[in-house]
Every structure is written in structure tokens, then in C-alpha cells.
Amino acid sequence: MFEGKNDENNHYKSEKDSLAKEKNLDLDARDTSSSDLFEETVEETVDSSEYSNNLRGWFQRFIHFVEISGTKGYSIQQLFLMNYDLRPVEAARRKWKWYHFIFFWLSESFNVNTWQIAATGVQAGLSWWVTWITVWIGYTFCALFVCASARVGNAYHISFPVSCRSSFGIWGSLWPVINRVVMACVWFGVHTSIGGNCVELMLRSIFSNDMEKRIPNHINGNITSFKLLCFFLYWFFQLPFIYFPPHKIRHLFTVKAVISPIAGITFLVWTLVKADGGGPFIRAPSTVSGSAFGWAFVNSTMNAISNFATLIVNAPDFSRFANAPDAAIYSQMISLPISFAITCLIGVLVSSAANSIYGVSYWNPLDVLSRFLDHYSRGSRGGVFLLSFSFAIAQLGTNISANSLSAGTDMTAIMPKFINIRRGGFVCAAIGFAICPWNLMTSSSMFTTYLSAYSVFLSSIAGVVFCDYYILRKGYLVLTDLYIANESSPYYYWKGFNLRAYTAYIAGVLPNIVGFVGATKTHHVPIGATYVYYFSFFAGYASAACVLIIITYIYPITGTPEARLFQCKFFEEWQDVEDFEEVYKKRIAMDSNERELFIKRLPSIDASEKA
């Protein structure tokens, strides 16, 4: 009996020992697998860390590669305030003489949009000569506004993104700048679309009048394959000209100033000969009278100004390159209205003669040239090609001056560490292509009306800047303080924003907002609001300026000269900025207690001598 129990116990022990061995083996296996897993985890962590370091190193190398040269040594805050394109223009880059501004406006006036300005008055019932008077009046006002805006750039050699810091604040100036960037990019695409139409006429003149049918269309939308090809060719053709800096691109305007008048006069003579006279517009009297005549006159006059709002605001971008104190003033005052008035007159006469030939009023000169190709002879093909080429050059000059350079200059204020004027121009071109402007130019689209009506907002910006520079500061600016973003700068206001200027800006927009909605034809508005909107630029300009005067009188600002608000004194002086880099670095390094003493040592901004 005991032996049986012993056998059972031995059997139980053997089973227990075998289970223990299996358990130990499992534990050993688990330890081994855990060790292997730990080693793999460590290796993966090391690999991940190396990958992260490599990625970080690659990113840093990329950042250094795309940085603008000359930005090292400045803090992050300072880099948002200044680079080579934002600093005052030194004498070596101030190459624009008085006659370059004449060439600029002579070339700027010859484009498709200017040809169509007179259409507003004639279609409203005014005779051609009354419409031409409104053109003279409108562009004379444009010249006054441009010269008023250009003076700060001419005297202090700074661009609009820098000059508007004195009025809107160091950081507050970014809002007007962003406004202009968006509009410039959109207008670049629109003008490129018009230039694509010029290329279309050139290709039809060379190859065949039915190119659009001969090239298979594989695109569904508001553009065909042939038109997209023309758009791309013209867009690509503009890129080399964006590469040139502003002080060298003046040669493009000189060439355009020679080509454009010859092409315009040739076009006029050719059309008059084909029509055997001036056509019906020349002999037609005004078909409206009384108040209708008066409001048509006002609307035609204001139409010239509203289409000029962008060029009025960005005038300092070009005047800063003037080589003499008055180089950018009197030359523009005289040449601007004369150039645009002559171009508008040619547009009226060509449209009138074309109406006599085809029985349809064509206000777009490209439509007239397209009809000339109906008679597909060698002479017609050659003439249309040369004139289309001239219009393509004209659109190029307008796109560079009014859009790509403006957008590039403004983008330097948004990301000065990475963007200069050249890069900003290329970014503008890319955006202008990406927005597919052919969809905006369709006959059913109101987008062009929105673009023209946007002068409501630009006029308010211009009014604030005018009031701050001419009335409040009387032409007195401390250049170095425009690049300082702390309380020691009088242009820092409240955390970099001048709330007075923003209040005035909104006040300038409000009188026109109802009429703006009516112009977009989304809602019916009272006729009184429409009449106010006819004066949109003046209303926004004057309202913003008056409100800023009142608010500043109640809440005074610092950094103004010792003179009464409406005292007839002006402290503007031609600035010597050759040593601006050294002066700026000293201004950054000095203690705030030494600032007033430092300003008195600067002869170019000595307020006591000016008084």
C-alpha cells in the first residue's frame, strides 16, 4: 500500500518538475524576446533620431538657401521690417530722371483699358467732345493725386509699404499692403488674359484665321485649347521682364514710349482710311440733357479716377528712384493727363470709324483688329500682326508697372527674409495664372466690376496716408523710426497699430459701401447712394482724411513737428541715405534715453533748422 502511494508521489513530483522546467524555459524565452525587442526599439529610436536630425539639417540648409542675402545679423522682428528692397534707395539705384517719368506715363497710357475709358461717357449719351473733356478733367485729378502720393517716395526714397507705416503703424501697415498684393495679383492675371488675346491675333495673322478650329479643343469651360496656348505664351513671355529690378526696368518704358504712339497713330489712320471718314460718333450730339447730362458727365469723369486708384497708391514705389528732388513731380503732373487724353481720343475715333465700317460699336481695339482679319490679305495680316504686337508690349508695360512690381514691393514687407521684389514678382505671376482669369473675364461675370469698384477701399487708404503726411506730420519723418518696432518709435502707436487710422479708414469706406453694392448689381439701392458712389474716390479720400484729423485732434500723436495743425509750414527735405545702414544700427543699439539727443545730431532731420 505504501509502495503504491510512493509511486503516485514520485509520479506527481516528476510531473511537477517537468512543468517547472517548461515554465523556466518560457521565462527564458520571454526574457530573450524582451531583450531583442528592447534592442530593436533602441535601434529604431536611434534611426528615428538620425532621420529627424537629417530632416532638420536639410530644412535649415533649405532656409539658408532661400534667405535673402544681407538679412543675417538682424533679429526676427527686424527682418519683418527691412531688407535690401525695403531700405531707402541709395544714390546708386536712383536712376530715374525727369524724362523717364514722361516715358513711363506715355507708355502706361497706351493699353486696352485706356482705349475703353471714353466708352462710359459716349454710351451714357454724351457727345465725343464732351466725353473728351471729362477725360481731361479726370486724368488731371489723377495727376494731382499721383504727385501728392509720390512726394514721400521722392524725398525720403522709400516705398509705399514703408511710408504707410507712419500713418497705419509699424504692423498696422500690413493691412494696406495685403490689400494691394491681392489686387495686384488678380489684375496681373486679368492683364495677362488681355495680352493672350493679342497673341491670339498675332498667331491668326501668321498661320490662319481659323486657328481656333484647326487646333482641337480638349478643354471644357470658358477657354479653348488655342486660347489657353495664347495665354500661356504671353504669360511666359512676361517672366524675363519681371527679373529686372525697378531701377533698370525704366528702359522697357522708354521702348514702349516709342512703339506705342507710332502704333496708335498708325491704327487711327488705317481705320479712318477704311471708313472713309470719322464715323457717326464724330457728328453725333449729346442725347441727354439736364440732370441726366450732369450725372453722366460726373460718372465719366470719375471713371478715369476709379481705374487709377492702384497707381495713385503705389506712386512712391517709382518716385523713390528719382535722381533729383523734383524729378518725379512736375514731369508727372504734365505728362500724365496729356498722354491719357490723347490715347482716349484715338480710342474714340477708332471706335467711331469702326462703327461706320461694320455697323457695330467696338470699344475694344482688339475686336476691331479681329474684324480687320475678315479680309485676309497680306496687308491686313501684316498690319494686324504689328499692331497686336504693339498692344502686347503695351499690356506688358502696364502689367509690370502696375502689378508685378507693386506686388513684389509689397511682398517684401510681408516676408522680407525670403522675398525681394524679383521673387515677389514671380509669385504674383504664379498666382495670376493659378486664378484662371479667363473665368473672370466672361461676359456674364461681374468680376471686372468688382475690381473697378475696389477703388472704394484704396481711396480710403490714400486719404489716411495723405492726411498723416501732409496735414499731421507736414512732411516730417524720422527714417530710422520707420524700421523700429517698439515703444521708442513714434510710429509704433498701440502695439504697432494706429487705431486712429483704422477708424478713419472705415469711416472712408462707409459712405460708398451702399453704392458699391449697387455697382455689383447684386441688390437694388437708392439712387442717392448711386450718386454718392459716382464720387467714390473723392468721398472715401476726403472722409478718411477729415475723420483722421478730428480723432488726432482729440487724441494727439507723437513724432510731429512743433507746428499747429493747420499752420502753413512744411518740413519735408531731400534725404541723404548713403550711410543709412550705420545710422540704423546705431539707432537699434542706443538706449531710449539717448534717442532725442541722437535725433538732434542728424542734420537731415534737424527740426530746429527746418522751423
Count of structural domains, the chain: 1
Q: 308: domain range?
A: 91-554
pLDDT, one tens digit per residue, over 318-363 is 999 999 988 999 999 999 999 999 999 999 999 999 988 988 888 8
Of 55-59, 252-256, 449-453, 461-465, the one with minimum mean pLDDT is 449-453
49 within some domain: no
591 within some domain: no
Q: Determine the pLDDT at residue 512.
A: 87
**Sorting pLDDT into bands at 50, 70 and 90, what band is 451?**
low
pLDDT, one tens digit per residue, over 272-286 is 999 888 878 888 888
CATH code where residue 158 lies: 1.10.4160.10
Question: Grid coordinates representing 293?
Answer: 447730362
8 within some domain: no
pTM over 0.85: no
Q: Determine the pLDDT at residue 443.
A: 52
Distance (Å, whole) CA 349 – CA 355 = 10
pLDDT cut 90: percent of the chain above it: 39
pLDDT, one tens digit per residue, over 164-196 is 999 999 999 999 998 888 888 988 998 999 999
Of 31 and 62, the structure prediction assigns the larger pLDDT to 62
Check if the beta carbon of residue 170 is closer than 8 Å to that of residue 484: yes
pLDDT, one tens digit per residue, over 196-220 is 999 999 999 999 888 888 888 888 8
Q: Determine the pLDDT at residue 45.
A: 55
Q: Determine the pLDDT at residue 432.
A: 93
Mean pLDDT of 404-414: 86
With 80 as the cut, is the pLDDT of residue 4 above it? no
Distance (Å, whole) CA 309 – CA 306 = 5
**Sorting pLDDT into bands at 50, 70 and 90, what band is 71?**
low
CB atoms within 10 A of CB 375: 11
75 within some domain: no
Q: Determine the pLDDT at residue 48.
A: 59
Check if the beta carbon of residue 340 is closer than 8 Å to that of residue 489: no
124 within some domain: yes
Mean pLDDT of 229-257: 89
With 50 as the cut, is the pLDDT of residue 593 above it? no
Check if the beta carbon of residue 161 is closer than 8 Å to that of residue 409: yes
**Sorting pLDDT into bands at 50, 70 and 90, what band is 608?**
very low
Helical pair 405-414 and 174-206, crossing angle rounded to 10 deg: 150
Of 609 and 375, the structure prediction assigns the larger pLDDT to 375
- CA 525 to chain centroid: 30
Give whole-number Cα distances, 35 to 21, 24, 29, in Å: 21, 16, 10
Q: Determine the pLDDT at residue 425.
A: 92
67 within some domain: no
End-to-end distance of the chain based on CA atoms, in angstroms? 132
Name the DSSP letter for residue 391.
Answer: H
177 within some domain: yes
With 90 as the cut, is the pLDDT of residue 472 above it? yes
**Sorting pLDDT into bands at 50, 70 and 90, what band is 398?**
confident
Secondary structure of 71-100 as H, E, C letters: CCCCCHHHHCCCCCCCCCCCHHHCCECHHH
If you average pLDDT over every residue of the chain, what do you get? Answer: 83
Check if the beta carbon of residue 354 is closer than 8 Å to that of residue 362: yes
pLDDT, one tens digit per residue, over 512-552 is 888 888 877 777 888 888 888 888 899 999 999 999 999 99
Q: Find which of 77-81, 145-149, 578-582 is predicted with most confidence, using mean pLDDT.
A: 145-149
Of 306 and 181, the structure prediction assigns the larger pLDDT to 181
Residue of 493, 597, 593 whose CA lies nearest to 551: 493
With 70 as the cut, is the pLDDT of residue 446 above it? no
Which residue has cell 542675402?
69
Check if the beta carbon of residue 321 is closer than 8 Å to that of residue 88: no
28 within some domain: no
pLDDT cut 70: percent of the chain above it: 83
Distance (Å, whole) CA 231 – CA 238 = 11
Mean pLDDT of 52-71: 70
Distance (Å, whole) CA 352 – CA 342 = 15
pLDDT, one tens digit per residue, over 99-115 is 999 998 988 888 888 88
